[in-house]
């Protein structure tokens, strides 16, 4: 009886898992083909995941015939053969419904055969101006994806011409094995020309339907994919929606295409706070409250407060409190109304200033990368610096234009950015009249293997025209030194020397920053940089002023929200050149 109980107990113990061995053997082809087949195989993926169930391996092996064949076609091999052996038996012969006690060996054997090129490569009809992929032509490698790309380009060409229902209606693909050529003919039905029809809104709860339609800005014009993309961008830009999608109808209605705008609203309120520390500016505390749908029309209202310079070396403590309001789609879908007001105290190394400002205007967006801003502003305050104590009041007409064609605002590797701000102002109560001009230009170029080396250049220029330094707000004047201008030099260390240790800001400024960014790995990067700056007393930079410069190295750690930045810099001009170190930490590239 005791022996019987032992046998029964052993019978119900779990059997030790048998390890499966999966191999892929590719005859012919190249490394790219082998990599693609490895990626395509479900059986290899099971082994990598440590799966043990024999039936899973049988099912994966049977599915791999199609997946490996697709991989061959993707690389242009249309005469290959595939054999998949499960413990020496062809997987296609195994009954998937019969359970197996074990699987110990799976052999994936692929013979690539010759690589095919395109013989005939036709897509018709094509809309005027349609550009097919260059790879879709006689003599080019007949990769399957190229055929799909050509068909998609043909359909997109007709959609751009106002025919949203264009579709592929047939394809004739013949592999001529003796010539190792693939003949391809794709037929396209352009469909009718349609205009945008009835527009419905779905999913909104608190944002008014008429405001969503106004923000999207879809008009009863000829159908245009670009207008749909712009409508989605307009809605997402408001911040009121977690998602916003324009869904096209699948059939025409009296020469029009019905449209549905589907949105998912964000939570309307948001509160945030931040804490930051640097050896230069000390401790910074900030917080904000925001409402994304203040009046039911996706209006954004935000209140910000900040305290800067706690235990820092940038003078005293700076305080600011401000509120901003933005109403999208005012007058037209690409024009927003903005208004803001703030009170601030700036205790900087070269001046002390208290002021109150208010401004209102419009923001006009042209496409996805050009923005124009026009406004009317009021400012009043008092300032104390080495020129004495004074009050000021002025009315300004700020004008600003921005072109942003960077590949990524937080970590650009190509493209350029340009911003120009011109703010004419009329002085009141003894304040001079004039204009403040500030420009900022940046350009990025990458090269080398996988574009791992990026050269980045930035220039800044500023000028006060028609007004003297002692009759404008001290914050209007220019200083150089610190993270935004010249790293390595102390914060706002370059100014206009009045003699006797007295300094004020300049009426002209020029700055240049140059960086070489090298990606060591996908997440780690090194940076070498050189910065220089000029502060002058004339309206135009480069005369009657002084230069200073700094250089250093940096470390970047790429994250999902941009690189974490650590820069270590030293002055390269002045009495302390090479003798002191400044450290800068932040998120995103320096520029």
Give the sign of the dihedral formed by CA 311, CA 314, CA 315, CA 321. Answer: negative
Position 15 scores a pLDDT of 41
Lookup result for tokens 């994304």? 292
d(CA 229, CA 243): 13
What fold, for 117-189? Ubiquitin-like (UB roll) (3.10.20)
- Joined tokens for residue 453: 């080396």
Position 12 scores a pLDDT of 39
Position 4 scores a pLDDT of 37
What fold, for 195-265? Ubiquitin-like (UB roll) (3.10.20)
- pLDDT surpassing 80 at residue 60: yes
Position 279 scores a pLDDT of 64
162 three-state secondary structure: coil
Residue-averaged pLDDT of the chain: 91
Position 80 scores a pLDDT of 94
- Comparing 7 with 90, which gets the higher pLDDT? 90
Give the sign of the dihedral formed by CA 377, CA 382, CA 384, CA 387. Answer: positive
Position 587 scores a pLDDT of 83
Q: Angle 225-237/209-216 helices, nearest 10 degrees? A: 120
Q: How confident is the model over 365-384, as a mean pLDDT?
A: 93
Q: How confident is the model over 306-317, as a mean pLDDT?
A: 78
Q: How confident is the model over 107-115, as a mean pLDDT?
A: 95
Neighbouring-strand partners of residue 291: 269, 301
Residue 171 CB-half CA count within 13 A? 16
Contact of 288 with 302, CB cutoff 8 Å: yes
Q: Where is mean pLDDT largest: 13-22, 256-265, 303-312, 469-478? A: 256-265
- Comparing 365 with 349, which gets the higher pLDDT? 365
CA-wise closest residue to 539 among 471, 468, 473 = 468
Contact of 542 with 565, CB cutoff 8 Å: no
Position 6 scores a pLDDT of 41
Q: How confident is the model over 60-64, as a mean pLDDT?
A: 95
d(CA 301, CA 294): 7
In sequence order, what are the residues at sequence separation of 6 or more whose Cβ sits closer than 8 angstroms to the Cβ of residue 581?
A: 568, 569, 570
- pLDDT surpassing 90 at residue 64: yes
- pLDDT surpassing 80 at residue 312: no
In sequence order, what are the residues at sequence separation of 6 or more whose Cβ sits closer than 8 angstroms to the Cβ of residue 181?
A: 116, 117, 118, 119, 142, 175
In percent, how much of the chain has pLDDT > 70? 95
- Comparing 429 with 21, which gets the higher pLDDT? 21
Phi and psi at residue 511, in whole multiples of 5°? -140, 150
pLDDT tens, residue by residue, 485-541 = 999 998 888 999 877 778 889 999 999 999 999 999 989 999 999 999 999 999 988
d(CA 514, CA 512): 7
Least confident of 333-337, 397-401, 461-465, 473-477: 473-477
* E strand segments, 211-350: 241-248, 256-265, 269-278, 282-291, 300-310, 318-327, 335-347
pLDDT tens, residue by residue, 152-161 = 999 999 999 9
Position 70 scores a pLDDT of 95
- pLDDT surpassing 80 at residue 280: no
d(CA 339, CA 360): 4
CA-wise closest residue to 557 among 572, 542, 567, 543 = 567
Confidence tier at 315 by pLDDT (50, 70, 90):
low
Give the sign of the dihedral formed by CA 513, CA 516, CA 521, CA 524. Answer: negative
Confidence tier at 314 by pLDDT (50, 70, 90):
low
Q: How confident is the model over 541-553, as a mean pLDDT?
A: 93
Q: How confident is the model over 232-250, as a mean pLDDT?
A: 95
Q: What CATH number belongs to 397-587?
A: 2.40.160.50
Residues of the chain with CATH 3.10.20.310: 195-265
Neighbouring-strand partners of residue 179: none
DSSP per-residue letters across 99-150? --S---EEEEEEE--PBPEEEEEEEES--TT----TTSSTTSB--HHHHHHH
- pLDDT surpassing 70 at residue 16: no
d(CA 533, CA 521): 32
CA angle 404, 407, 413 (to 5 degrees): 115
Q: What CATH number belongs to 18-111?
A: 3.10.20
Confidence tier at 8 by pLDDT (50, 70, 90):
very low
In percent, how much of the chain has pLDDT > 90? 74
Confidence tier at 79 by pLDDT (50, 70, 90):
very high
d(CA 409, CA 140): 37
459 three-state secondary structure: strand
- The rounded Cα 51 to chain-centroid distance in angstroms is 38
Position 310 scores a pLDDT of 81
Contact of 94 with 88, CB cutoff 8 Å: no
Q: How confident is the model over 436-463, as a mean pLDDT?
A: 95
Residues of the chain with CATH 2.40.160.50: 397-587
Phi and psi at residue 112, in whole multiples of 5°? -70, -40
């Amino acid at each position: 009886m005791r022996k019987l109980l032992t046998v029964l107990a052993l019978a119900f113990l779990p059997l030790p898992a048998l390890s499966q061995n999966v191999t892929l053997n590719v005859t012919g082809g190249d490394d790219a083909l082998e990599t693609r087949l490895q990626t395509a195989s479900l059986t290899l993926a099971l082994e990598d995941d440590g799966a043990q169930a024999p039936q899973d391996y049988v099912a994966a092996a049977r599915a791999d015939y199609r997946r490996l064949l697709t991989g061959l076609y993707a690389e242009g091999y249309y005469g290959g053969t595939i054999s998949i052996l499960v413990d020496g038996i062809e997987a296609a012969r195994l009954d998937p419904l019969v359970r197996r006690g074990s699987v110990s060996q799976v052999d994936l054997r692929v013979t690539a055969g010759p690589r095919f090129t395109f013989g005939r490569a036709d897509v018709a009809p094509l809309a005027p101006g349609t550009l097919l992929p260059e790879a879709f032509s006689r003599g080019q490698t007949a990769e399957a994806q190229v055929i799909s790309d050509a068909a998609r380009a043909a359909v997109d060409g007709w959609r751009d011409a106002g025919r949203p229902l264009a579709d592929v209606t047939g394809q004739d693909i013949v592999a001529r094995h003796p010539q190792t050529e693939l003949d391809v003919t794709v037929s396209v039905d352009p469909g009718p020309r349609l205009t945008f029809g009835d527009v419905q809104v779905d999913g909104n709860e608190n944002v008014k339907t008429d405001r969503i339609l106004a923000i999207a800005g879809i008009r009863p014009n000829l159908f245009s994919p670009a207008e749909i993309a712009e409508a989605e961008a307009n809605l997402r830009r408001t911040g009121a929606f977690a998602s916003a999608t324009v869904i096209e109808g699948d059939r025409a209605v009296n020469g029009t295409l019905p449209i549905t705008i589907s949105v998912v609203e964000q939570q309307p309120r948001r509160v945030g706070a931040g804490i930051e520390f640097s050896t230069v500016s000390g401790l910074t505390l900030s917080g904000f409250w925001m409402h994304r749908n203040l009046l039911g029309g996706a209006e954004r209202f935000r209140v910000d407060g900040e305290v800067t310079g706690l235990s820092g070396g940038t003078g005293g403590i700076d305080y600011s409190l401000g509120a901003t309001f933005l109403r999208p789609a005012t007058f037209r879908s690409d024009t927003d109304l903005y208004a803001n007001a703030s009170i601030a105290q700036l205790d900087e190394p070269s001046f002390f200033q208290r002021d109150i400002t208010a401004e209102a205007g419009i923001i006009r967006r042209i496409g996805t990368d050009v923005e124009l801003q026009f406004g009317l502003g009021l400012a009043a305050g008092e300032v104390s610096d080495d020129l004495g104590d004074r009050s000021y009041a002025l009315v300004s007409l700020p004008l600003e234009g921005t072109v942003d064609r960077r590949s990524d605002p937080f970590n650009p590797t190509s493209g350029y950015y340009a911003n120009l701000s011109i703010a004419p102002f009329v002085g009141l109560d003894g304040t001079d009249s004039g204009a403040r001009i500030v420009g900022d230009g940046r350009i990025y170029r990458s090269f080398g293997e996988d574009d791992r080396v990026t050269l980045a250049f930035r220039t800044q220029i500023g000028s006060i025209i028609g007004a003297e330094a002692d009759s404008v707000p001290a914050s209007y004047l220019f200083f150089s030194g610190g993270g935004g201008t010249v790293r390595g030099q102390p914060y706002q260390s370059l100014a206009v020397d009045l003699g006797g240790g007295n300094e004020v800001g300049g009426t002209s400024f020029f700055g240049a920053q140059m960086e070489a960014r090298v990606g060591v790995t996908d997440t780690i990067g090194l940076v070498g940089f050189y910065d220089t700056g000029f502060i002058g007393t004339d309206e135009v930079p480069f005369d009657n002023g002084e230069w200073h410069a700094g250089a250093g190295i940096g470390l970047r750690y790429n994250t999902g929200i941009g690189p974490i930045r650590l820069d270590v810099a030293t002055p390269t001009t002045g009495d302390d050149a090479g003798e002191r170190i400044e450290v800068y930490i932040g998120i995103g590239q320096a520029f």
